[in-house]
Amino acid sequence: MRWGVAALCAAAVVASSAPVAAETSDAAAGGGTCGVWKERTVGYSLGILEALLPDDRGGMLLSSSTHDAIERLTPNGKVTVLAKVTSPGQIVWWGKNKVMFPTGDALQSGALSRADGTLQILNLKTGRLRTYASGLTMPNGLALDRDGTAYVTRDTGTGTGITRISAKPGHKVTTNWSKLSDTNGIAIDAGRRVMYVDRTFEVGAPVVRIPMAHPNRTTQIGDLSNGMPLKLLDDLFMWHRVLYIPANGGGELYSVDTRTRRTCLIAAGLGNPSDVTVGTGHAWRKGALFVCGFDGTVREYVRT
């Protein structure tokens, strides 16, 4: 989500700093011993970044709010523009050689309830961009179910809840599939038929489980407030049933085990982190966490 002037100014200051390396532990969070993570900066001064995804071809796809574009970062720091779009959000795979992402993920769209958002599909091989669905209000997070049904979140404003977009021709848009408002990060455990979301402006920084068959029967499985009620939780990524969640306002990166509900603080002192993903090899270390933020930085975290 694109934030206001104060946040943008703060991000610009942090983005001007040089790359750093550090080690961080969750011990400071009082959440037990979850290991030590080594940090390395792999890209900086990239503008305000909303989301990232390895393209399995040696690049890292970026949703750039500053440049209104889907960009590609390579390990040597080179950035190229793949598509010019307005306020792109979460990026997910959609079949072979293609990714899907929302546009219209802007604060003013949510605040004014403007249905100017879309879902776009970008062919990474040909560069072709096409509109999959339209009429969405501030689509931010995006998750695909196993049948291709898409779900998008909205973290500013109310009235649309979590929106469902059918995979059938016509791609019918259904608002309030779940009436839960103020949702941001989203992931689906397709085998267990549950969805996980986090909430941005909700006091207590909650992480919520939603059964796919009963989308309004929600259960809180995590509280990431840790003494700071408003953490501004952002996009999330699920890997091996563990959720990885950046706290944009808290400058932190957390993990939440969906089986045990154990919460760990992986990193702190980040510049407005907005998204996290896991490396798949292909120039981005397999199993490492990669985090982007409004400070224009992409960082790698490896557990030691």
DSSP the chain: -B--HHHHHHHHHHHTSPP-EEEEEGGGGTS----EEEEEEEE-S---EEEEEE-SSS-EEEEETTTTEEEEE-TTS-EEEEEE-SS----EE-STTEEEEEE--BHHHHHTT---EEEEEEETTT--EEEEEEEESS---EEE-TTS-EEE---SSSSS-EEEE-SSTT--EEEEEE---S---EEEETTTTEEEEE-SSSTT-EEEEEETTSTT--EEEEE--TT-S---B---EEETTEEEEEETTTTEEEEEETTT--EEEEE-S-SSEEEEEE--BTTB-TT-EEEEETTS-EEEEEE-
Instruction: Return the pLDDT at 6.
Output: 35
Instruction: Return the pLDDT at 304.
Output: 87
CA 12 to CA 211: how far, in whole Å? 40
Whether 137 and 109 have beta carbons less than 8 Å apart is answered as yes
What pLDDT, in 10s, does the model give residues 205-225? 999 999 999 999 999 999 999
Q: Which residues of the chain have pLDDT under 70?
A: 1-33
CA 221 to CA 58: how far, in whole Å? 35
Instruction: Return the pLDDT at 28.
Output: 34
Instruction: Return the pLDDT at 228.
Output: 87
According to CATH, what is the number of the domain 21-303? 2.120.10.30
Instruction: Return the pLDDT at 2.
Output: 52
CA nearest neighbour of 144 among 119, 115, 126, 125: 119
Domain map (residue ranges) of the chain: 21-303
Instruction: Return the pLDDT at 43.
Output: 95
